[in-house]
């Protein structure tokens, strides 16, 4: 997709669908407890794939690129007594490690085996009753491994006690899972390094229906914060709550502190307005630990590059095992838009900005966030985004919404 040099329209309004993270958690819970109904479900490809997988009775489930679905289904299928399933995905999915989750489930008594490479999908899962109630798992791995265990905890006869070993990564995502569980009536607690999920004693087909309304997605909102920061005009986003379950809602504070974008909440309309301060003085350096919100790091780096603001971002170790190695991809593509950067195993920092003569295509590496995080740079220079359809993974209507708030400079 060719994005010509554009300007930001002022005060346009868009409506982003439900959070993918919350939707996927609720889908697992609604499959476990049939008295749940979900409104404002995410329309992302990941959520649709998970929904389809949960409705499937087939022996083979292919979740393609959907990493969350792979992790959540691994635990879910392990407790489906009497059912045998092969859980597989794309070539990239077969390169994404899952051993820590499988080891934890095996320690609880699950019957899971690797069909190809040890430690990686595809998996053969024979569902059975898990009778053990305590397990240990490293805390510095993907939070989705831990959330996957938390989601099935209340279906175990004695509940589940999870001992988190080491430094905790992406804490807000774990807190989100606990809040989602509490919202549907599942008791839990988190003390020090131990998360406890108490058993749910209600009937699966309880007559009392719990309605869950999914709040809109803050990760998707980040791209419009980037547009507002670069274009210095206001944007309105509907269906957002001032107090969110999502860790990525920290985008409000980050973009206020470093780019002067104020978030004004209009609670009566469930709407927020992103309003850049005209007199804001940009910092000499953005120094930030994004361990709790790694999914918005790409957006931040592109915004900083567009505004030529030096940055040092740490806490990004999980980016190396996402849809692609996001740190390598980010370094490669930032160079194309005028930023020389260096990376470590868990950080990225700018070393020099320069004026690119001509921007070639931005490669997306089959990663939805690469496409969407680089798109706002068209407010600086025209650019081409390869494989525009990759956005369907999390935000299918992104390009339509992008067109609502931007206008090509003729």
Does 321 lie in the same domain as 187? Answer: no
Residues contacting residue 264 through CB under 8 Å, at least 6 positions apart: 272, 273, 275
Per residue in 1-26, pLDDT (tens digit) is 999 999 999 999 999 989 999 999 99
pLDDT at 327 over 50: yes
Whether the pLDDT of residue 268 is over 80: the answer is no
Residue 201 is predicted with a pLDDT of 60
Q: What is the pLDDT of residue 205?
A: 44
With CA atoms as reference, report the closest residue to 305 among 223, 363, 380, 255.
Answer: 380
129: which 2 tokens?
């009753």
Q: What is the mean pLDDT of residues 120-136?
A: 96
Last residue of a domain, one of 197, 213, 229: 213
Say if residue 329's pLDDT is above 80: yes
Angle at 368 between CA 250 and CA 293, to 5 degrees: 20
From residue 35, how far is each of 3, 27, 184 by CA, in Å?
46, 12, 10
Same domain, 107 and 233: no
Mean pLDDT of 40-59: 92
Mean pLDDT estimate for the chain: 92
Q: Give the residue-averaged pLDDT of 169-173.
A: 84
Same domain, 348 and 387: yes
**Do both 240 and 374 map to the same domain?**
yes
Asked whether residue 173 carries a pLDDT value surpassing 50, the answer given is yes
Are residues 68 and 7 both part of a single domain? no
pLDDT tens sequence across 214-262: 889 999 999 999 999 999 999 999 888 777 888 899 999 999 999 999 9
Rounded average pLDDT over 318-325:
71
pLDDT more than 90, % of the chain:
76
Catalytically active residues are 295
Question: Do 272 and 356 fall within a single domain?
Answer: yes
Do 186 and 264 belong together in one domain? no
Residues in contact with 360: Cβ distance below 8 Å, sequence separation at least 6, in sequence order: 336, 384
208 pLDDT higher than 70: no
Local structure of residue 410 (DSSP, 8 states): -
Residues 99-109: b if buried by 16+ CB within 10 A, e if exposed: ebbbbbbeebe
Q: How many independent structural domains does the chain possess?
A: 2
Q: Kindly tell me the burial class for residue 410, based on how many C-beta atoms sit within 10 Å of its own C-beta (0-12, 13-18, 19 or more).
A: exposed
Residues 6+ positions from 58 with CB-CB distance below 8 Å: none
Question: Are 165 and 137 spatial neighbours (Cβ–Cβ below 8 Å)?
Answer: yes
Looking at the fold, whether 145 and 279 belong to one and the same domain comes out as no
What is the pLDDT confidence band of residue 206, given thresholds at 50, 70 and 90?
Answer: very low
Same domain, 196 and 220: no
pLDDT reported for residue 203: 46
Specify whether 126 is located in the same domain as 191: yes
Domain extent at residue 123:
20-213
> Is a pLDDT exceeding 80 seen at residue 315?
yes
Q: What pLDDT shows up at residue 323?
A: 60
Mean pLDDT calculated for residue range 271-294: 94
- pLDDT at residue 187, as a whole number: 95
What was the pLDDT predicted at 39? Answer: 86
Q: Do 366 and 332 fall into the same domain?
A: yes
Give the CATH number of the domain where residue 154 resides: 3.65.10.10
Render pLDDT for 374-387 as a digit per residue (tens, 0 to 9).
999 999 999 999 99
Same domain for 94 and 119, yes or no, is yes
Q: Which of 213, 230, 249 is the last residue of a domain?
A: 213
Q: At which of 213, 248, 282 does a domain end?
A: 213
- The model carries a pTM of 0.79
């Amino acid at each position: 997709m060719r994005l010509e040099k554009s300007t930001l329209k002022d005060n346009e309004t868009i409506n982003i669908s439900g959070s993918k993270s919350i939707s996927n958690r609720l889908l697992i819970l609604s499959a476990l407890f049939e008295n749940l109904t979900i409104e404002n479900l995410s329309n992302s490809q990941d959520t649709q794939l998970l929904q389809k997988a949960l409705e499937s009775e087939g022996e083979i489930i292919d979740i393609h690129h959907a990493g969350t679905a792979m992790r959540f289904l691994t635990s879910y299928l392990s407790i489906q007594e009497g059912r045998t399933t092969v859980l597989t995905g794309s070539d990239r999915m077969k390169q994404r490690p899952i051993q820590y989750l499988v080891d934890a489930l095996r320690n609880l008594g699950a019957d899971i085996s690797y069909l190809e490479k040890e430690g990686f999908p595809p998996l053969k899962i024979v569902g059975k009753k898990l009778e053990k109630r305590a397990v240990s798992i490293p805390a510095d791995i993907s939070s989705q491994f831990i959330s996957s265990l938390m989601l099935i905890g209340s279906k175990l006869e004695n509940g589940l006690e999870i001992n988190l070993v080491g430094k905790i990564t992406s804490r807000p995502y774990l807190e989100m899972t606990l809040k989602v569980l509490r919202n549907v009536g599942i008791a839990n607690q988190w003390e020090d390094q131990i998360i406890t999920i108490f058993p749910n004693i209600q009937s699966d087909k309880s007559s009392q229906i719990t309605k869950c309304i999914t709040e809109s997605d803050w990760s998707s909102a980040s791209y419009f914060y980037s547009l507002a920061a670069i274009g210095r005009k206001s944007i309105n986003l509907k269906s957002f709550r001032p107090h969110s379950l999502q860790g990525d809602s920290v985008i409000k504070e980050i973009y206020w502190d470093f780019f002067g974008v104020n978030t004004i909440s209009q609670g009566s309309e469930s709407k927020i307005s992103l309003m850049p301060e005209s007199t804001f003085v940009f910092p000499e350096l953005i120094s930030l630990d994004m361990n709790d919100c790694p999914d918005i790091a790409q957006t931040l780096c592109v915004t900083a590059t567009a505004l030529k603001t030096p940055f040092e971002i740490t806490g990004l170790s999980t980016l190396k095992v996402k849809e692609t190695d996001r740190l390598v991809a980010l370094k490669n593509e930032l160079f194309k838009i005028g930023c020389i950067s260096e990376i470590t195993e868990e950080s990225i920092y700018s070393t020099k900005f320069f004026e690119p003569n001509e921007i070639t295509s931005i490669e997306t590496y089959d990663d939805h966030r690469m496409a969407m995080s680089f798109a706002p740079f068209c407010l600086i220079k025209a650019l081409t985004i390869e494989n525009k359809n990759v956005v369907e993974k999390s935000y299918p209507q992104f390009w339509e919404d992008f067109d609502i708030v931007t206008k090509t400079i003729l």
